[in-house]
Amino acid sequence: MKVGVIEHFDSMHLLPGHPKCGVPHGHTYKVEVTVEGPVVNGMVVDFDILKRSLREILKTWDHTDLNRLLPVPSCEHISEAVLGQLRGKLPGLRMGVRIWEGEGKWAECEG
């Protein structure tokens, strides 16, 4: 069974050396987290615990310069970093993180 939550954050970044994205600019990022596992006591994971954990992580990403957090803050690297932080808060769960950079563009990692 899979369950998921969605949150958002706003930040700016630049991608060093990129012809278009090499200048500072901002995005509204949508963060989708899915958790997969058996239903135990009626749930795969408590939505409240999942949302609180994700919101705590995203506080550090919201309204900041992402280049201060990652050397190359691409959508791919952001999704890997958020997944790693979420694993630290909710160990033992099979999760996936999809980061949407505005509309129509996303990167996803699972583990």
| Catalytic pick among 8, 18, 25, 63 | 63
* Residue 75 annotated to the active site: no
* Residue 109 annotated to the active site: no
| Catalytic pick among 7, 21, 36, 80 | 21
Instruction: Report DSSP letters for 62-94, one per residue.
Output: TTSBGGGT-SS--HHHHHHHHHHHHHHHSTT-E
55 to 21, 47, 71: CA distances (angstroms)? 27, 12, 23
* Residue 13 annotated to the active site: no
| Catalytic pick among 27, 75, 77, 101 | 101
Return the active site residues: 21, 63, 101
